[in-house]
Amino acid sequence: MSTPIPEIRRLKDLSTLVSLSKRRGFVFQSSEIYGGLGSCWDYGPLGSLMKLNVKRAWWNAMTRRSDIVGLDAAILMHPTVWKASGHVDGFSDPLVDCKDCKTRFRADNTDSYINKKQCPVCGSKNLSEERQFNLMFKTHMGPLEDSASVVYLRPETAQGHFVNFQNCQQSSRYKIPFGIAAIGKSFRNEITPGNFIFRTREFEQMEMQYFVKPGTDEKYFSEWKERRWNFYKKFGIREENLKFKDHDKLAHYARAAVDVEYKFPMGFSELEGIHNRSDFDLSQHAKFSGKNLEYFNEAEKEKYIPYVIETAVGCDRLFLAFMCDAYREEVTTTKDESGKTTEDVRVVLGLHPDIAPIKVAVLPLSKKDELSLPAEALRDQLAEDFDVTYDETGSIGKRYRRADEVGTPFCVTYDFDTINDGAVTVRHRDKMTQERIKIKELNSYIAAQLKQFNN
């Protein structure tokens, strides 16, 4: 009898992922025992590993090039930085209050308000006037809480790149074109955050600013669009879930802007922004600081303010996209002799191995010391090279399913035959095939299998 081909069902709503994330230790509600804090999330044992892998994948894609350096800038910056960048005066959203249900909402992206001037929650037209709400978190530095001590939690990492442009360029001795990459926390007091970790008030950004000679900016803008698209393909995002969307209205500093959008369960939404920022940023900081931020091209004896091509993606949002794209349910339907139909559902996170939090699960066939003790030693052997978990609870089938559900590419079973032949069974998550591999060759075998995903 042939094995039934399973039906593949993809993720339909975020609630399924929220439940999986909490149950398996990917993402928890922040301060949950106190009722939680709105749109703030904690990354659990598996989530913290996976988030580190997401950042590592992006960081390597940027800094292993010969023309990009890294930066880790402070969260707190001189307040004039945010005056120069325009955030103090212009980083705001239009806010409206419903006087009946007390809901606060953005006036610029709520259809019921834009079209009907009514509350999107209760339908009331008893609304406040629109007012601008600055999204920066404000705090104070030092013992006195007065206007002279005001500082801001940065709303983006990019300004660290700009104020350190000369420091990075001169210390690295890189010539233009060159880039600066950074990963770090940013904070925005969003009016309407939501959709799990898609939009939060505290988040991590991964931004790269590529400094180029004016007149070459269009060329590099196109090149970075292609590079970023290929990044998503490399790590397994299905192309049918990606698209470019040009900005209908450009920011005051931009010459061109496009978003890479991903098809989340709530529809296509921004995943990454790619922008031609012109020379606005360095010109503004030169003006407000009084420092000359021109670049001198010694070979051609010319000076100019570089243009900037920016790529900016939220780590949390990319984490969510990887989870959404990887989630699948393999449903096998069978009928018994009476005609009764049953469904067997195998939940799999088909994550690229570089992104998966655990690479290998070690599963002794029995809890008996003769298997569990050498299996634990095997776990330690593999842990020298990979992120590994050890699981001896439940049937081997259930343990396979637990590993599938969190995206583990390989399960290694230590059985009674291993005692005699020194080999273990390696089961592949996606192909569902099994191979017998010698323990002494196992680390190199796993490494070779992982490498195949990047070829």
Q: Amino acid identity of 288? A: F
Chain-centre distance of CA 177, in angstroms? 27
Task: Report the chain's mean pLDDT, rounded to a whole number.
Answer: 94
Q: How do 68-71 and 178-187 pair as beta strands?
A: parallel
Number of H helices, E strands in the chain: 14, 24
Reduced to 3 DSSP states, what percent helix, strand and coil does the chain have, rounded to the nearest 5?
Answer: 35, 30, 35
Residue 60, helix vs strand vs coil? helix
At 27-64, the pLDDT tens digits run 999 999 999 998 899 999 999 999 999 999 999 999 99
Residues spanned by CATH 3.30.930.10 within the chain? 9-79+136-323
Place of tokens 């290929």: 230
Residue 450: both structure tokens together: 């992982």
Torsion 126-132-135-136 (CA) sign: negative
Architecture of domain 9-79+136-323: 2-Layer Sandwich (3.30)
CB 270 within 8 A of CB 261: yes
For position 108, what pLDDT does the model report?
Answer: 82
Least confident of 110-119, 394-403, 405-414: 110-119
Residues spanned by CATH 2.20.28 within the chain? 92-134
Residues spanned by CATH 3.40.50.800 within the chain? 358-452
At 137-178, the pLDDT tens digits run 999 999 888 888 899 999 999 999 999 999 999 999 999 999
Nearest CA among 209, 91, 214, 217 for reference residue 161:
209
Residue 455 scores a pLDDT above 80: no
For position 144, what pLDDT does the model report?
Answer: 83
Quickly count: other Cβ atoms within 10 Å of residue 112's Cβ: 13
Q: Amino acid identity of 304? A: Y
At 185-229, the pLDDT tens digits run 999 998 878 899 999 999 999 999 999 999 999 999 999 999 999
Residue 453: both structure tokens together: 């995903």
Say if residue 90 is exposed, middle or buried (CB neighbours under 10 Å; 0-12, 13-18, 19+).
Answer: exposed
pTM: 0.92
Residue 21: both structure tokens together: 């994330």
For position 45, what pLDDT does the model report?
Answer: 98
Q: Which residues contact 39 (CB under 8 A, 6 or more apart)?
A: 190, 193, 194, 199, 200, 201
User: 9: which strand partners?
Assistant: 329
DSSP notation for 356-414: -S-SEEEEES-SSHHHHHHHHHHHHHHHTTS-EEE--SS-HHHHHHHHHHTT-SEEEEE
**CATH code linked to domain 358-452:** 3.40.50.800
Residue 266 scores a pLDDT above 60: yes
For position 94, what pLDDT does the model report?
Answer: 85
DSSP notation for 282-351: HHHHHHHH-----EEETTTTEEEPPEEEEEEEEHHHHHHHHHHHHEEEEEEEEE-TT--EEEEEEEEE--
How far is it, in rounded angstroms, from Cα 177 to Cα 238? 31
Average pLDDT of the residues in 363-391: 97
How far is it, in rounded angstroms, from Cα 304 to Cα 296? 7
Q: Amino acid identity of 185? A: K
Residue 1 scores a pLDDT above 60: no
**Residue 2 pLDDT grade (very low, low, confident, very high; cuts 50, 70, 90):** low
CB 282 within 8 A of CB 313: no
Place of tokens 């659990």: 44
How far is it, in rounded angstroms, from Cα 16 to Cα 387? 26
Residue 112 scores a pLDDT above 80: no
How far is it, in rounded angstroms, from Cα 393 to Cα 396? 8
How far is it, in rounded angstroms, from Cα 64 to Cα 84? 32
How far is it, in rounded angstroms, from Cα 205 to Cα 4? 44
Residue 356: both structure tokens together: 């998966």
CA distances from 3 to 184, 333, 439 (A): 48, 11, 31
Fold of 92-134: Rubrerythrin, domain 2 (2.20.28)
For position 336, what pLDDT does the model report?
Answer: 84
